[in-house]
Copies of this chain bind each other. A is one copy, B any other.
Amino acid sequence: MNFVLDPRLESDSEFICDLNLSQVRLNLNAAFPWIILIPKKSELVELIDLEEADQTLLWHEMMKASHVIKTLFNPKKLNVAALGNMVSQLHIHVIARFAEDKAWPNPVWNSGATRQYEPTEKESILARLKLAFEE
Contacts and interface: CB of A to CB of B under 8 A. Distances in A.
Interface string A88-103: 1000000001000000
Nearest to A79: B83
- Copies per complex? 2
Interface residues of A, number: 30
Contact of A48 (B48, B70, B97): B70
Interface stretch (A23-31, A36-44, A106-114, A123-131): A106-114
A46 B83 contact: no
A81 B82 contact: yes
Contact of A81 (B45, B55, B79): B79
B77 A85 contact: yes
A66 B97 CA distance: 26
Interface of A: 45-48, 55-56, 59, 62-63, 66-67, 70, 77-86, 88, 97, 104-107, 109-110
27 contacts: A45-B77, A46-B66, A46-B77, A47-B62, A47-B63, A47-B66, A47-B80, A48-B66, A48-B67, A55-B59, A77-B84, A77-B85, A77-B88, A79-B84, A79-B85, A80-B82, A80-B83, A81-B81, A81-B82, A83-B107, A85-B97, A85-B104, A85-B107, A86-B105, A106-B110, A107-B109, A107-B110
